[in-house]
Amino acid sequence: MVKYVINASKKKSQISKHIYGHFSEHLGRCIYGGIWVGEESDIPNTHGCRNDVVEALKNINIPVLRWPGGCFADEYHWKDGIGPVDRRKKMINTNWGGVVEDNSFGTHEFLEFCELIGAEPYICGNLGSGTVQEMSEWVEYMTSDSISPMADLRKSNGKENPWKVKYFGVGNENWGCGGNMRAEYYADEYRRYASYVKDYSSNKIFKVACGPSADDYNWTEVLMERACKYMQGLALHYYTIIGPWENKGSATDFSEIDYYRTMDKTLYMEELLIKHSAIMDKYDPDKNVALLVDEWGSWYDVEPGTNPGFLYQQNTMRDAMIAGINLNLFNQHSDRVHMANIAQLVNVLQAIILTEGRKMILTPTYHVFDMYKVHQDNTLVESYINTSEITSEEYKVRDLVESVSLDENNKLYITICNTDLHNPKLVNTELIDYTPNNLEGKIITEAMNAHNTFDAPQVVAMKDFNDVILNENGFTMTLPPCSIVRITLE
Ligand code: AHR
């Protein structure tokens, strides 16, 4: 029997709803075909955006959406994507498949899409190949309400009032595709570009600096030491890859060893959060600068027969587990983690939605976001669980990963992942300072490589979970192998 203790009166940090954020890049079929089909399409749409995708996203309360990249961001020139569509410049998307980008989805289309789905925009500016003026004018174009050339340009394109844009990234992966810079050089460039990312009218920008790749602790050290007073956020990127890079493995056809190696790599996120936060604490003990994990998720070989530059992969119960673990870790570290953006929204990497022409399916990862949305903006409460390790020479994996939050109506939400592929876990939960009258359970569980297809879209989905019994100290539950469970108490 596993011991689990939840102390509802030990309130910790607020779980920012932005931890449940997403990322959409001009990459493969994420924007074109995934989000945007154009007004003339026979796929039902609102101002060019697919209605089925909009509805699915509204259902999970997507709080924030990052755009236009990714590597694409540091080659993107925003003025090419405004004004009459037939006069917009075309370019080659050099990062992703060498296809023609016709700029038909630009600033107006993205911000209108955010309005449709009720998400805040998070724009990533071009530091790698753009100018300070270009970045500065983009912010002015979107947010200025005063006498200004860029506000006039926006009005001439049919948008009288400015948008509210809070989150703005000053470059992406500038240690790599965003310019191959050294940390010291980027820190100076960041300071220069960020100086001209201004607040117009009542709009207040939250400036995000490019942060480290995985365990590049030196990058965090240098950025924090040299530039932390000019930023509100530092963006960490970490993908679950069981590699090597040339052979990342199939998304659907994998062994138990591959599964556990994937879990091991996923759990490494916790070490990254702890170590990067410790460096940030040195320079920013009051936690004024947030850690944003603005790219995370699984990365496998592309589906056979698809364009290698499009990063299209299937999504299984293993991916649901990756999402469940990461989201619990972000909740647990929400004192420093303010936002996280899974890569990517539709048809790319660990997508929550896949489309094929008119058809659309929700992936196992989508159902995890649906299950966990209840945590958004709640208060994290203290919890302790007695975990075991599943080990071999190739991996070391914790069997249970959980987090607990309390909402403003005193409802308690517990989300817990059982990574063990063979053993159910009988969990005895003691509740301190909380006496529930009602309990509801939900579960996502299937074989590790189960997935949804266009012919069988409901193989992995959220179902009712009844293997849970209230008692005088709390409750007991039996978690099936390879499962993700949510318990709601009130
Ligand atoms: O998400 C795909 C790519 O991964 C992004 O463009 C880049 O930022 C990262 O390397």
CATH classification at residue 267: 3.20.20.80
Distance 172 CA to ligand 1 centre (A): 9
- pLDDT tens digits, one per residue of 350-371: 999 999 999 999 999 999 999 9
- What is the average pLDDT across 425-431? 98
Nearest-atom number in ligand 1 for the CA of 349 is 1
Give me the amino acid identity at 335.
D
Ligand 1 atom, smallest distance to 95 CA: 6
SS3 471: coil
Among 53, 58, 39, which Cα is nearest to 354's?
Answer: 53
pLDDT in tens, 172-220: 999 999 999 999 999 999 999 999 999 998 999 999 999 999 999 999 9
CB 485 within 8 A of CB 413: no
Instruction: Indicate which atom in ligand 1 lies nearest the CA of residue 69.
Output: 6
* Residue 237: strand, helix, or coil: strand
Q: Are residues 131 and 237 in the same domain?
A: yes
Query: Does 112 participate in catalysis according to the annotation?
Result: no
Which of 75, 101, 137, 173 is catalytic? The answer is: 173
Residue 455, Cβ density class (10 Å: 0-12 exposed, 13-18 middle, ≥19 buried): exposed
**Last residue of one domain, picked from the residues 376, 395, 429:** 376
Q: Which of 72, 295, 302 to mutate to test the pocket of ligand 1 (most atoms within 8 A of CB)?
A: 295
Can you give the pLDDT at residue 182? Answer: 98
Residues 368 and 452 reside in one and the same domain:
no
Q: Whose CA is nearest to atom 5 of ligand 1?
A: 70
| pLDDT score at 201 | 87
Residue 22 has pLDDT above 90, yes or no: yes
CATH of the domain at 465: 2.60.40.1180
One domain, residues 270 and 411:
no
Write down the H helix ranges in 27-103: 51-59
71 Cα nearest atom in ligand 1: 6
End residue of a domain, out of 319, 353, 376: 376
Strands 353-356 and 45-46: unpaired
CA count, 13 A, side-chain hemisphere, 428: 6
Ligand 1 atom nearest the C-alpha of 70 is: 6
Residues 302 and 421 in one domain: no
Measure 61 CA to ligand 1 centroid, in angstroms.
Answer: 24
In this prediction, residue 164 has a pLDDT band, given cuts at 50, 70 and 90, of very high
Cis peptide before 308 (omega within 30 of 0): no
Ligand 1 pocket at CB < 6 A: 25, 69-71, 172-173, 295, 343-344, 349
| ipTM, 2 dp | 0.99
- 246 carries an active-site annotation: no
**Quick check: 412 and 406 in contact, CB under 8 A?**
yes
Distance 410 CA to ligand 1 centre (A): 39
**Closest by Cα among 426, 429, 427 to 489:** 429
Same-domain status, 465 and 441: yes
Check whether residue 445 and residue 357 sit in a common domain: no
Which domain covers residue 349, as residue numbers? 16-376
pTM of this structure: 0.98
Rg (CA), the chain: 22
Within a 13 Å sphere around the CA of 16, how many CA atoms are in the beta-carbon half? 18
70 alpha carbon to ligand 1 midpoint, in Å?
5
Residue carrying the six token digits 């007695």: 386
Q: pLDDT (tens digit, 9 = 90+) per residue, 430-486?
A: 999 999 999 999 999 999 999 999 999 999 999 999 999 999 999 999 999 999 999
| Residue 207 CA to ligand 1 centre (angstroms) | 20
Q: Are residues 403 and 293 in the same domain?
A: no
Using the 3D structure, point to which of 332, 353, 376 is the last residue of a domain. Answer: 376
- Number of domains the chain contains: 2
252 and 371, same domain (yes or no): yes
- Specify whether 302 is located in the same domain as 172: yes
SS3 265: helix
> CA torsion sign, 243 to 246 to 251 to 256?
negative
Structure tokens belonging to residue 85: 């569509």
Q: Is residue 335 within 8 Å of residue 426, measured between CB atoms? A: no
- Check residue 63 and report its DSSP letter: -
Residues 336 and 445 in one domain: no
The residue contributing the CA closest to ligand 1 atom 6 is 70
What percent of the chain clears pLDDT 90, i.e. is strictly above it?
100
- Could you tell me if 463 and 329 lie in one domain? no
Same structural domain for residues 337 and 420?
Answer: no
Q: Nearest residue CA, atom 3 of ligand 1?
A: 70
Which protein residue's CA is at the shortest distance from atom 8 of ligand 1?
Answer: 70
Given a contact cutoff of 8 angstroms between Cβ atoms, the answer to whether 146 and 201 are in contact is yes
| Distance from Cα 282 to the centre of ligand 1, integer Å | 29
